[in-house]
A = this chain, B = another copy of it.
């Protein structure tokens, strides 16, 4: 198996900018991603009717919305109401740009990862899951052959697989129900078997089902995030994803981030409440998935989950107390065999929940799963693996060695510490352009509705655009000399108005302030200082990196050039960058599908050495130097230096 999405090429005229996008992508988003400015104040809601483009070649799916009939018939479409269907040539009419002409700026070469490159990272995997089914037709017992029911099953197994060792079984319920299952099915049964740790180790019988159920074999991949939990149901006979569901981690009511969860866990009953909440979140995901494909939760044969160290502890009901206190020690990093039902998860009583092992208190199983998915540990090439969130996690290494670290980036990229910051949900500004002459914004929101706030990718877009257009300087201060209504001194100091109250969903002006910029600089500075400290610890520099792999949903949405522009990512050859998307989920999904990959996961974890940055003086030095846009040492950012007039 491998993951592929159909790619389409869109040529925007008259700028002559070509961009590769996925089929089904929104055209306004595609333009924004390509750096093509189109008038759009409403976030993509279809109401302002300004983002008119002409489809000069190829086809889109489009909604007429407020378009006149004659415009529609002449091939005019609202970009925000159109999705890419084929390769396209799109002409942006002169009148749709504020100045009547294409932007003067050099086209941005936003890299959209091609399927082929992604495949080269994660490789292919077999549909040879760690669980299998074996159908057996057993002879009925007689007085001459009255061995126990379980011995009869074992004998059937030996006859079917004479070369394999006899499987184990340890679930009392299995044996409790066995006599009835055997007799009701007229001695025709299906064994659900979990492979042993190695090829020589015996399988384990997870379930014995009446009749031939070999056609039904499902595994669940679970990504247990601090904010969001997601599940993917894989048909293990085909390796295909047949259902997905996700939802906020219900622990959120007890705190947004891992630290507040740890604190809550220390309150009486807190740990139990947190454990119950994440289990109820998982149960909702399982129930949603099962409803959508009409199976029972008991039909899920196997669960592979990954989460950060705190989430993993809370799921298992382990007190995360010492994770927060120096020297930051988790209870366990290699999680014990756990039965899902024992945790309260809706699952067959003998189904196991495997959790990716963690490395340290702030480098968790989600990172190990991601590193596992992209096969860093199998390549001689040196990779920098980055997962940007509240805690940025970084892994550097190759097949021979790996080091990792966590840096407290702060919650800016998840909307924290930003006045109008919000999570990446509907209404969040996710892409932004500024007109270099009018300083007017082009806003694209998630869900293409009126804006209600700024998410992480939007924040990066906004800051880099403000910086490139000279609205702010490299210290993150507004250019006080610009006389523009959107640039003003507000309640919290200087700010830029992204959306006037009448254009916003929340009925007030949405702004970005100097305080916000300061918080962003601290967050990106921590990440960059992390890269430097980790690389330096192994005697390497950015020039030694063969690949920079970005994991996390966040990574999939940020604009590479802009992230480099603000100093969040190193200024190296763009061809070295890869987006993995939800790498944690991807690792679980691969492990579920292929027993060989499943067995690798522990070795991957053991290859990685953790480094504590929290009281590391070198890290602090690097950090101070990076509190600038993009950095105090501009020699580290040559491509940005070229673009910034004053740098």
CA distance A333 to B142 in the complex (A): 17
Cβ of A610: which chain B residues have Cβ within 8 Å of it?
146
Binds B, one of A173-181, A282-290, A496-504, A520-528: A173-181
Residue from A316, A332, A612 having most chain B Cβ neighbours under 10 A: A332
Contact between chains at B334 and A151 (CB < 8 Å):
yes
Contact between chains at A327 and B143 (CB < 8 Å):
yes
CA distance A614 to B147 in the complex (A): 15
Contact residues of A: prevailing secondary structure: loop
Contact between chains at B178 and A331 (CB < 8 Å):
yes
Binds B, one of A73-81, A113-121, A318-326: A318-326
**In the complex with contacts A176-B317, A316-B175, A147-B333 CB distance below 8 A:** yes
**In the complex with contacts A322-B179, A612-B143, A329-B172 CB distance below 8 A:** no
CA distance A174 to B13 in the complex (A): 65
**In the complex with contacts A170-B336, A333-B151, A146-B178 CB distance below 8 A:** no
Write the A607-630 contact mask toward B (1 if CB under 8 angstroms, else 0).
000101011000000000000000
**In the complex with contacts A321-B179, A358-B148, A612-B146, A172-B336 CB distance below 8 A:** yes
Cβ of A321: which chain B residues have Cβ within 8 Å of it?
179
Residue of chain B at shortest CB distance from A357: B148
Write the A577-602 contact mask toward B (1 if CB under 8 angstroms, else 0).
00000000000000000000000000
CA distance A176 to B314 in the complex (A): 10
**In the complex with contacts A331-B148, A332-B150, A143-B319 CB distance below 8 A:** no
**In the complex with contacts A142-B327, A327-B142, A615-B143, A150-B333 CB distance below 8 A:** yes
Contact between chains at B336 and A171 (CB < 8 Å):
yes
Contact between chains at A332 and B142 (CB < 8 Å):
no
From B143, B170, B333, B338, contact of A148 by CB (8 A): B333
Contact between chains at B332 and A149 (CB < 8 Å):
yes
* CB-CB contacts below 8 Å: A323-352 with B: 326-334, 336-338, 342
Contact between chains at B175 and A329 (CB < 8 Å):
no
CB of A281 closer than 8 Å to a CB of B = no
Write the A147-190 contact mask toward B (1 if CB under 8 angstroms, else 0).
11111100000000000000001111011101100000000000
Contact between chains at A149 and B336 (CB < 8 Å):
no
CA distance A333 to B321 in the complex (A): 45
Cβ of A319: which chain B residues have Cβ within 8 Å of it?
176, 179
CB of A360 closer than 8 Å to a CB of B = yes
CB of A266 closer than 8 Å to a CB of B = no
From B150, B358, B360, contact of A331 by CB (8 A): B150
CB of A141 closer than 8 Å to a CB of B = yes
Cβ of A172: which chain B residues have Cβ within 8 Å of it?
316-318, 336, 338, 342
Residue of chain B at shortest CB distance from A330: B148
CB of A226 closer than 8 Å to a CB of B = no
CA distance A84 to B537 in the complex (A): 82
CA distance A250 to B641 in the complex (A): 86
Contact between chains at B148 and A328 (CB < 8 Å):
no
Contact between chains at B332 and A170 (CB < 8 Å):
no
CB of A391 closer than 8 Å to a CB of B = no
Cβ of A317: which chain B residues have Cβ within 8 Å of it?
172, 176
What is the CB-to-nearest-CB distance from A407 to chain B, in angstroms, rounded to a whole number?
15
**In the complex with contacts A318-B175, A319-B179, A322-B179, A146-B329 CB distance below 8 A:** yes
* CB-CB contacts below 8 Å: A174-208 with B: 174-176, 178-179
Residue of chain B at shortest CB distance from A333: B148
CA distance A196 to B334 in the complex (A): 20
CB of A361 closer than 8 Å to a CB of B = yes
What is the CB-to-nearest-CB distance from A232 to chain B, in angstroms, rounded to a whole number?
25
CA distance A330 to B151 in the complex (A): 10
Contact between chains at B327 and A150 (CB < 8 Å):
no
Residue from A145, A170, A330 having most chain B Cβ neighbours under 10 A: A330
Residue of chain B at shortest CB distance from A149: B331
What is the CB-to-nearest-CB distance from A123 to chain B, in angstroms, rounded to a whole number?
29
CA distance A525 to B88 in the complex (A): 97
CA distance A546 to B295 in the complex (A): 62
CA distance A268 to B120 in the complex (A): 61
- Would you list 17 pairs from A and B whose C-beta atoms are within 8 A, ordered by A residue? A143-B614, A146-B327, A148-B329, A148-B331, A148-B358, A148-B360, A149-B329, A149-B331, A151-B332, A151-B333, A170-B337, A172-B336, A174-B336, A175-B331, A175-B336, A179-B321, A179-B329
4 A-B pairs with least C-beta separation: A148-B333, A150-B332, A146-B327, A148-B330
